[in-house]
Amino acid sequence: MRYILGVVILKLKGKAIKTKYWLPGEDIYKYVVYIADKIAQDGDIIVISEKALSVARGRLIDESKIKPNLFSIIITYILMRIIWAYILGPLCKFKLKTINFLRKYPLKEGAAHKQVCLKLSGPLQALKHYSEGGIDLTNVPYSYACLPLEKPMEIAKEIWKEIYRRTGKKIGILIVDSDKTYSFSRLHITSRPFAIKGIKSFFGFLALIIGRSLRWKIRATPIAAVGIKLNVDEILRIADLADKIRGSGAGATAWEIAERFHVKPNEVTWKMLLSIKHKPIVIVRLIKNAAHKQ
């Protein structure tokens, strides 16, 4: 990937690191420090999946313990099976496969999920059709939902400091969520409740509708950046490159993962997820070459 940075051409090279699935309680430092020591160079950027970090830190909630009321079930039916499936989905140019899933959206489990999202993220986030407030059902087992990181900047700083203390290398740390940022010129908006400086959290589901329906540039969302002296658009380019190299683990949606293992979404197990190679870390290297002004 190449692009013009002032009078400099910046070339990005990315390498995904395969690991086993990170379980709750996983010592993520043994991975990042080893990678920084043996593979990365000074000035490289280690891009880490927020989902992988959240699971490793035990940021999970068991939605099977939530008993949805009748009101939640009715609202979920209207929102997901009608509004998103027949109005907003086509407006946002969703794939037919996604729309078909929405038309069969599970009501009991879906209503429990919406209740969790309403309580933890608020109504503007709960109106989304997935990843409401960063609460995600993909690549987690059973009826677990993965919550977003608390204080991701502090976590990124801790990782940066640990790498420097143990290797002496100054390596940038970028934590990225696959939930999208939508860009029009220098305006960057996201449906997530928070992101790095320069990306505006725009009324939850409205950012998604605006960005997708108007065909704005779509990229993964960086939520924390430490040791990186680049502007927001450059960081978005790195986040997007890493997200594409990383792929979607066992699947891009809870439905795809269930189909892969030939089970229902709430029947995916830890063992199934452990059978898949994951790529929670991507090393991105920046190569700058002098260039003439264009």
Q: Three-state SS string across 198-263, please?
A: CCEECCCHHHHHHHHHCCCEEEEEEEEEECCCCCHHHHHHHHHHHHHHHCCCCCCCHHHHHHHHCC
pLDDT of residue 293 exceeding 50: no
CA 206 – CA 116 distance, rounded (Å): 20
pLDDT of residue 9 exceeding 80: no
> Do residues 278 and 2 lie in contact, with contact meaning Cβ atoms separated by under 8 Å?
no
pLDDT of residue 118 exceeding 70: yes
Q: What are the tens digits of pLDDT across the range 60-90?
A: 999 999 999 898 899 999 999 999 999 999 9
Are residues 158 and 183 located together in one domain of the fold? yes
Domain range for 215: 2-59+152-290
CA 117 – CA 261 distance, rounded (Å): 27
Report the DSSP beta bridge partners of residue 290. 8
pLDDT computed for residue 289 by the predictor: 60
CA 98 – CA 51 distance, rounded (Å): 21
Are residues 156 and 71 located together in one domain of the fold? no
Are residues 271 and 190 located together in one domain of the fold? yes
Least confident span in 4-13, 206-215, 254-263: 4-13
Averaged pLDDT, 262-273: 92
Query: What share of the chain has pLDDT > 70, as a percent?
Result: 94
pLDDT computed for residue 4 by the predictor: 42
Are residues 198 and 280 located together in one domain of the fold? yes
Are residues 184 and 280 located together in one domain of the fold? yes
Query: Per the structure block, which two tokens stand in for 156?
Result: 């990124």
> Do residues 193 and 134 lie in contact, with contact meaning Cβ atoms separated by under 8 Å?
yes
pLDDT computed for residue 288 by the predictor: 67
**Residue that finishes a domain, picked among 111, 146, 181:** 146
Q: What are the tens digits of pLDDT across the range 127-186?
A: 999 999 999 999 999 999 999 999 999 999 999 999 999 999 999 999 999 999 999 999
**Residue that finishes a domain, picked among 146, 177, 196:** 146
Are residues 188 and 269 located together in one domain of the fold? yes
User: How far, CA to CA in Å, does 170 sit from each of 117, 132, 183, 223, 291?
Assistant: 38, 35, 30, 20, 26
Quote the crossing angle between the two packed helices 152-167 and 29-38, to the nearest 10°.
50
Judged on CB neighbours under 10 Å (0-12, 13-18, 19+), 272 is middle
Q: Is the dihedral of CA 228, 234, 236, 239 positive or negative?
A: negative
Are residues 133 and 232 located together in one domain of the fold? no
Amino acid symbol at 238: I
Report the CATH number at residue 33: 3.30.1330.100
Are residues 282 and 170 located together in one domain of the fold? yes
What lies within 8 Å, CB to CB, of 174 at 6+ separation is 45, 46, 47, 48, 156, 222, 224, 225, 228, 235, 238, 239, 242, 284
202 — pLDDT class (breaks 50, 70, 90): confident
pLDDT of residue 292 exceeding 50: no
Are residues 263 and 207 located together in one domain of the fold? yes
Q: What are the tens digits of pLDDT across the range 206-239?
A: 999 999 999 999 999 999 999 999 999 999 999 9
Are residues 190 and 232 located together in one domain of the fold? yes
**Residue that finishes a domain, picked among 146, 179, 214:** 146
Picking from 156, 154, 282, the residue whose alpha carbon sits closest to that of residue 226 is: 156
Picking from 150, 222, 153, the residue whose alpha carbon sits closest to that of residue 183 is: 222
277 — pLDDT class (breaks 50, 70, 90): confident
pLDDT computed for residue 46 by the predictor: 98
**Count of domains observed in the chain:** 2
The DSSP element (H or E) to which 23 belongs, if any, is none
Radius of gyration of the chain (CA): 19
Q: What are the tens digits of pLDDT across the range 19-44?
A: 999 999 999 999 999 999 999 999 99
192/8: higher pLDDT: 192
On average, the pLDDT of the chain sits at: 91
Are residues 208 and 240 located together in one domain of the fold? yes
Are residues 82 and 197 located together in one domain of the fold? no
